Structure 1
Amino acid sequence: MVAVPGTKQYGALSALVQCVSQARLCFSVPPSCFYPEPDVDSALLHIDTHRVRIDDIAFLNRTIKASFAMRRKTLANNLSAAFALTKAQIEQILAQMNIEPTARAEALMPAQFELLARQLDHAIKK
């Protein structure tokens, strides 16, 4: 949830949480604090929600999930498979946002997902 864009840890959950709140790592919790001990590391997060700048959270969530649906595919491929828009229409939206057509979801900042959701929603409603 606190992962930064461009890292392997950054995914749909990180992007969505960062769109609607500010999350920060408080401290790590070692596996020895649990029984049975898990094979994962745990942490305590502090999440402050803030006013969302997008009207439709459900559509934002759908946009983010579709973007990360297949991590090795480009945004244009993932989004054209999820929405009633052609790949060319998606690429045009990305170009208007100064995003390369070969970009992948993990390269986008949370604010870019908000704008992308608005642009997709507008294009679909045309």
Structure 2
Amino acid sequence: MSSIDDLPPLREVIATHGLAAKKSLGQNFLLDLNLTAKIARLAGDLTAADVLEIGPGPGGLTRGLLAEGARKVRAIEKDPRCMPALAEIADAYPGRLQAIQGDALDVDPLAYLQPPIKVAANLPYNVGTELLVRWLTPPMWPPFWQSLTLMFQREVAQRIVATPGSKAYGRLALLAQWRTDAQIVMELPPEAFSPPPKVNSAVVHLTALPAPRFAADAAVLNRVVAAAFNQRRKMLRSALKSVSPDIEQHLMEAGIKPTERAEQVGLEAFCALARSLEQDS
């Protein structure tokens, strides 16, 4: 299947509009519409949802989302060169696509979306992790989104789903697994993209939990986890000394040996430590 709609193939769209990928924007375009449609399906039933897409580029995933029945798609694109191509997609799907030129780090998506909302994106490599952390750490929970279906470098994807004891385990795993069910649902080789990146890529699907997996104050937990993994080679009694002068007592109250290192401690124990520290404040 060379196309999922009556629009031109993506290589033709890129040639027509002069959309050579820019390294400065972290662009790597996925050109196979079979793959973009598959990623759209991994986001679940879209027929009753608004979808937020970041970095649509020439619109491969955008077309997949619309073809799979998304109620509406709000696509935020930083590169002004892509806007004419996205306008052509909007014309082919009347009333269902709104493309907004701007920086996803600055645009408030809620001004353009109605719940239920899902996020699906082949994220630009240079902002992907920062956007994910923002989506995982809102002031209120549940968040504005039901699920995130996101393309990352495979190394980043592995950090999101990592378990204690692994080298990939760290702050990103804890933030994601505290409030979501996260799993890698697809892997892609470099040659699937234009230009091919130097690393493999993977799609991660995160479903928001109604409430965090374990009780903890978000700000305290984030501070503890950041401090612990900032000096991950140190024992926790040393790495967390700046968090509290009585850190050894708090560690023992949480059932954590003060001599353990951050990568050995699971999510539940970190949440227990955050609760202990909160009581002391």
- Structure 1 Cα separation of the partners of residues 265 and 279 of structure 2: 20
Name the amino acid aligned to 2:207. Answer: D
Per the alignment, do residues 94 and 63 of structure 1 end up closer, same or farther by CA in structure 2, a change over 3 Å counting? same
- TM-score, with structure 2 as normaliser: 0.41
Moved more, 93-102 or 103-112: 93-102
Match of 1:33 in 2: 192
Moved more, 18-27 or 45-54: 45-54
Match of 2:153 in 1: none
Match of 1:72 among 217, 229, 233: 233
Is 1:15 aligned with 2:174? yes
Is 1:63 aligned with 2:224? yes
* Contact 1:28/1:44 (8 A) holds in 2: yes
Which structure would you say has the larger RCO, counting Cα contacts within 8 Å and 6 or more residues apart? 1
More strand by share: 2
Structure 1 unmatched ranges of 5 or more: none
Is 1:54 aligned with 2:54? no
More helix by share: 1
Q: CA deviation at 1:59?
A: 2.1
Q: CA deviation at 1:55?
A: 5.3
Q: CA deviation at 1:28?
A: 0.8
- Structure 2 Cα separation of the partners of residues 28 and 38 of structure 1: 14
Match of 1:114 among 258, 262, 271: 271
Query: What is the aligned residue count?
Result: 120
- Structure 2 Cα separation of the partners of residues 98 and 58 of structure 1: 21
Q: C-alpha offsets along residues 43-75 of structure 1, whole Å, 9 cap, x if unaligned?
A: 111101111243531222111111101110111
Is 1:3 aligned with 2:181? no
* Structure 1 residue ranges, 4+ long, deviating more than 6 angstroms after superposition: none
- Structure 2 Cα separation of the partners of residues 75 and 98 of structure 1: 13
SS of corresponding position for 1:39: coil
- Cα RMSD over matched residues? 1.5
- Structure 2 Cα separation of the partners of residues 36 and 77 of structure 1: 45
- TM-score, with structure 1 as normaliser: 0.86
Match of 1:91 in 2: 248
* Rg comparison, structure with higher value: 2
Q: CA deviation at 1:42?
A: 1.5
Q: CA deviation at 1:18?
A: 0.8
